[in-house]
Amino acid sequence: MSALTGIGGCGQSAEALREAAETLVPPASRIVAREDGDCFIFADSPTCHTIGFVRPTAPLEERVDAVREAAGEAGWELEEEVRAEGATFLGYTRGGFKASVTLWADFRAKRCGLRPRMDCADRIRVVR
């Protein structure tokens, strides 16, 4: 089976991995990049999927609330929340997936809105 359609080493298809990541992108956000990755050795590729997204006019708290709402609607369970000076980090689980969400502080998010790209966008990474 191909890595794009086959069953991965953890029992989840690559397409299911990508779809799971999409469920965490809040409405009104714009996806600026996507990347499949190999986050684990000896497992079928890809084992993780990362989405960069922006919503530059929304302050951090609004973006955090929007992710929480999208996650709740999609059946994700919040496992961890860490607030730091430069970002808020959310950790979720659902089925065989783990997700980490990084939402950058306003000063970084606003600059990224001018030239959106993966290295400055808010980020979702889902691992199977």
Assigned domain for 68 exists: yes
**Sheet architecture: strand order including 87-94:** 30-37, 48-54, 122-127, 97-104, 87-94, 77-83
Please report, for residues 3, 21, 54, 125, the alpha-carbon distance to residue 50 in angstroms, rounded to integers and kept in the order given. 16, 7, 14, 4
Q: Is residue 3 part of a domain?
A: no
Residue 83 placed within a domain: yes
Asked, for residue 1, whether it belongs to a domain, the answer is no
The residue range of the domain holding 83 is: 14-127
Strand blocks (E) in 1-128: 30-37, 48-54, 77-83, 87-94, 97-104, 122-127
Q: Collect all residues with Cβ–Cβ distance below 8 Å to 76 and sequence separation of at least 6.
A: 23, 24, 92, 93, 94, 99
What's the pLDDT at 2? 32
Q: Is 54 within the bounds of a domain?
A: yes
> Residue 42's pLDDT is what?
67
How many domains, in total, are found in the chain?
Answer: 1
Answer whether 0.85 is exceeded by the pTM. yes
Ordered per-residue pLDDT tens for the chain, 128 residues: 333 333 334 457 889 999 999 999 999 999 999 999 988 776 677 899 999 999 978 999 999 999 999 999 999 999 999 999 999 999 999 999 999 999 999 988 888 878 899 999 999 999 98
Residue 35 belongs to a domain: yes
Residue 5 lies in a domain: no
Q: Please report whether residue 87 resides in a domain.
A: yes
